[in-house]
Structure 1
Amino acid sequence: MEAFFGAWAGPAIGLMDLDAFFASVEQLDHPAWRGKPVIVGGLPEERGVVSTASYEARPFGVRSAMPSAQAKRLCPHAIWTRGHFDRYREMSARVMSIIADETPFIDQVSIDEAFFDVTPGRFAAESPIAIVERIARRVSELGITCSIGLGSNKTVAKIASERDKPRGLTVVPPGTEAAFLAPLPVRAMSGIGKAAEAALHKAGIRTLGALADAPLERLKPIFGTNAALVRNRAAGREISPVRALDDPDDVKSVSNERTFAHDLTAREDVYAALSLLGESVGRRLRRRGIAGRTVTVKVRYSYGNGHTAQRTLPHPTDDENLFVATAKELVDTLWQPGTPVRLLGIGVSDFRRDEGVQTDLFCEVDERGAVASDRRDLSVAMDRVRERFGSSAVSFGRAQRFERDLVRPDKFLNQNKPTP
């Protein structure tokens, strides 16, 4: 199996869909709710609508977009919550960061769903199946789960992601797209709603295989100028490139943040956390070929309050050995040792390309005018190893200690409702 995927030929597009995302985050943050039906949405007495239902609620017939009053009749013992969208956005950003560690080619289509391109040779030479398995594993370490479909285009990946939920991984190897799609009902393909489905049924077309074989003259009254496109999608012949996450000319900032399983109180632990976060930021800057001047640090305390601080450097850089040092100085202006830290973040922005760069004796300037330390070559070498063998293939001892002792996402159990 692995040997086959190691020889994957052609595009490899994945679709990651977080399982019952809002409800899963609520169960993560409220351990007593785990294993119980949880409904996120407007309250029944306020004529609300269900946003997300946990998998424990779904056997009772509860579904997204269902009137809350109906959901309460179906599952009267469910736990209800309006939701905490700042928290969902925070978790979504962490998931997207995991994907960005594997590939810069990402199309995020919603807070809980994203396409990504792991075509061998486009960014990494690794087997697509190994990459998606690693993404799924790292997402589960956050305390939530995802389902992933992998195929040669977005249509196949999307349908595959829905075949085995939750915690599913469905792979459609190159050359098997038509066979995979053919027996499925036409409604399985995104873009075909109730009206189009009814029109297709009236025309005697009920499966994607029949849709793929239908003459265009039969499809044009239903899909108009899009008839050929729809037919190609049904046949698995769609060509759907995934653009880079950020165009270097448009990106405004590159950042990373993390919420900790246990509050950090010691300076050496906070510094270790900043170093680990900074490695990821530096890698992404170098991947995009950009360097920034402004360093931002974010600190959130265990009781919910938080602060940020910024400093503009005299020169742009993509070297974490430089900007993390500044981040450590900034964090000392926001925080005193002993104060519990729940979240830390570090970001780099301000990607202007000015003339003239102020340097010092320990830095050198590259062709972009960016400044780097004498340790940047080591960072670049580590980038190459991670690109070839995965993001966890090599790390500094401080990062390993930090991951092992300080950040344990599988133990991330907030007893209280998170404060936005």
Structure 2
Amino acid sequence: MNERDHVIWHVRCHPDTSPDAYRDILDLAAEFTPTAQPLPPTALVAQLCGASRVFSEAPRRLAQRFQLQAIATYGVRVHIGVADTWSTAVTASAPTGPSGILHLPDHRAVETFLHPLPVDAVHGIGPAQTDTLRRFGLHTPGALAAMPEDVVGRPLGGKKDRLLRDRARGIDPRTITAHRMPESASAHTGFPRDECDAASMRAAVLDLVATVGERIRRRD
């Protein structure tokens, strides 16, 4: 990987991040790159081709800058995985440690990080597939990556196994599609018990209308 020319971020916001704050983080990502794809409700993936050159900062420093602006401007804590493929960046964004950023600058770093993990850490492997792979003795991404080409299709069958083996090797050709979230707003409320009083229900609806209106105005 040319770390200045092909960098992918996977950004995880705190699970409690509100929809409005999530949109703020998407807008912030657009200041760093035009190629950012929302992954609702609280994540995004972005490709930063040449961004390090534009900002004159190394990939990790650029991620730190984004992280700092997210917490300072919007009060949102984010974890960022930095790698050269989508699936590796997703995996790297989970165990980032105290810094909140894990940067895998080259293929050796990717292998060192991925191969000892539990096999279900590979992006795209679900619980049922994990059980199947473990029955075949494949407990880590390293073991999956080392499977010979002529037998890799046996546990799960054909293309799926080959896809997951590629991801265990840090290979993922998927592209990132830049788009914005749909322009919508919502709000909800509740009652402590079944409510039949028309005046109370009307008051609740009017309160929701005011809340949605305020959110729309904040987005201009």
TM-score of the aligned structures, taking structure 1 as reference length: 0.41
Give 1:138's aligned residue.
69
**Distance in 2 between residues matched to 1:308 and 1:12, nearest whole Å:** 34
1:219 and 2:152 aligned: yes
Give 2:7's aligned residue.
12
Give 1:177's aligned residue.
110
Question: CA 1:198 to 1:305, structure 2 compared with 1: closer, same or farther past 3 Å?
Answer: closer
Question: CA 1:179 to 1:308, structure 2 compared with 1: closer, same or farther past 3 Å?
Answer: closer
Question: CA 1:205 to 1:306, structure 2 compared with 1: closer, same or farther past 3 Å?
Answer: closer
Alignment of 1:10-409 (within 5 A): 10-22=5-17, 88-120=18-50, 124=54, 126=56, 127-141=58-72, 142-164=74-96, 168-175=100-107, 176-221=109-154, 222-245=156-179, 306=213, 344-346=218-220
CA shift for structure 1 position 244: 2.6
Cα deviation 1:300-333 (Å, max 9, x = unaligned) = xxx8584799xxxxxxxxxxxxxxxxxxxxxxxx
- Contact 1:159/1:189, CA 8 A, preserved across alignment: yes
**Distance in 1 between residues matched to 2:53 and 2:46, nearest whole Å:** 11
**Distance in 2 between residues matched to 1:116 and 1:240, nearest whole Å:** 12
**Distance in 1 between residues matched to 2:182 and 2:47, nearest whole Å:** 22
**Distance in 1 between residues matched to 2:123 and 2:218, nearest whole Å:** 39
Question: CA 1:209 to 1:308, structure 2 compared with 1: closer, same or farther past 3 Å?
Answer: closer
Identity percentage over the alignment? 22
- Contact 1:155/1:238, CA 8 A, preserved across alignment: yes
TM-score of the aligned structures, taking structure 2 as reference length: 0.74
More strand by percentage = 1
Q: Secondary structure at the match of 2:113?
A: helix
Give 1:256's aligned residue.
none
**Distance in 2 between residues matched to 1:133 and 1:122, nearest whole Å:** 12
**Distance in 2 between residues matched to 1:186 and 1:157, nearest whole Å:** 16
Structure 1 segments, 4+ long, off by >6 Å, are none
Q: Secondary structure at the match of 2:153?
A: helix
**Distance in 2 between residues matched to 1:308 and 1:151, nearest whole Å:** 35
Which protein shows a greater Rg? Answer: 1
Number of aligned residue pairs: give it.
190
**Distance in 2 between residues matched to 1:122 and 1:239, nearest whole Å:** 22
CA shift for structure 1 position 245: 2.8
Cα deviation 1:238-294 (Å, max 9, x = unaligned) = 223212336xxxx998xxxxxxxxxxxxxxxxxxxxxxxxxxxxxxxxxxxxxxxxx
Question: CA 1:122 to 1:131, structure 2 compared with 1: closer, same or farther past 3 Å?
Answer: closer
**Distance in 2 between residues matched to 1:305 and 1:119, nearest whole Å:** 37
